[in-house]
Amino acid sequence: MAHIAETGGEETEDAQLSIYQQDRNLRERHSKSDRCDQEAFVAASIDRLSKEIRGLHTGQQALSATIDSLTRLFLTCVPEPPAEALDQAKRRAKLRYDRFLVSVAQNMTTDTRATLAELADRG
């Protein structure tokens, strides 16, 4: 009887070991699947961000080209004031520029307003 009990106990341990190994294998497969899903998600996020950055870069280049063209046009078409009127023209330009900054600031968020105020203080 002791031998049957021992044999029965071993079979139970073998069955438990088999169940444990199957459970472990399932967990490993599930873990690998989760890892693959996470890697795919990260890769897709990086790809999306890369496309957005390329779009922003293109927009920034277009903006720079536009500003350059407008500056060249302005400098070509608008003459400099005469030397005796230069100080008065600078004061008037400063006042107009300050009004311009206030107008721009009214259309922006709070954080940007603070940055714009710093720029106005420097001028």
Predicted confidence at residue 119, as pLDDT, reads 67
What's the CA gap between 25 and 80, in Å, rounded? 81
What b/e sequence results for 1-24 when a residue is b if at least 16 CB atoms lie within 10 Å of its CB, and e otherwise? eeeeeeeeeeeeeeeeeeeeeeee
What b/e sequence results for 50-85 when a residue is b if at least 16 CB atoms lie within 10 Å of its CB, and e otherwise? eeeeeeeeeeeeeeeeeeeeeeeeeeeeeeeeeeee
pLDDT less than 70: residues of the chain: 1-11, 109-116, 119, 122-123
Please state the length of the chain.
123
For residue 107, the 8-state DSSP code is T
Predicted confidence at residue 4, as pLDDT, reads 41
At a CB cut-off of 8 Å and minimum separation 6, what does 105 contact? Answer: 112, 113, 116, 117
Predicted confidence at residue 44, as pLDDT, reads 92
